[in-house]
Amino acid sequence: MESKRVSLRLSEEENTYVASTSFGQLLVGEKGHRPMELLLVSLAGCSGVDVSIILKKKRQEVKDIRIDVLGLRRDEHPRYYEKIEIHYTIVGKNINPKAVEDAIKLSLEKYCSVHAMLKEKAHISYSYSIENVE
């Protein structure tokens, strides 16, 4: 079993913490990154890495991947996301739409751990577009 550890300490900024991770530090809270936005970043980052790796294995000539995520939170506490929409923009040369569709499905249905954790509470949908460039 793999373990991960983060550590937070109250910063000098009001209602803000300094989070120490294996990659470095970041501010979390009122004067830093919002925890619920970081959750959306985590989902996009997790899936984005999968999609990129899968498309490379499928020999797609990807130049860029952009991921936009919209999360809709409920009004009552706890204010978790009830609906999340992910849009992938794949930029490259001669990109095969089936390869993109397969890569996204594999990520969201099999590999992305963040998606696996969130899907029990939130309805997560996705869409994609392809921008072919020379």
- Mean pLDDT, rounded, for 87-92: 98
Same domain, 61 and 26: no
- Mean pLDDT, rounded, for 67-79: 98
Report d(CA 56, CA 51) in Å as an integer: 8
Range of the domain at 3: 1-33
Does residue 129 contact residue 102 with C-beta atoms inside 8 Å?
no
Same domain, 11 and 74: no
Same domain, 8 and 71: no
Does residue 129 contact residue 89 with C-beta atoms inside 8 Å?
yes
Per-residue pLDDT tens digits for 5-16: 999 999 999 999
Question: What pairing do the DSSP bridges indicate for beta strands 81-93 and 123-132?
Answer: parallel
Same domain, 85 and 27: no
Locate 36 and state its tokens: 């619920």
Per-residue pLDDT tens digits for 19-28: 999 999 999 9
- Mean pLDDT, rounded, for 97-124: 98
Report d(CA 49, CA 112) in Å as an integer: 9
Residue type for position 112: C
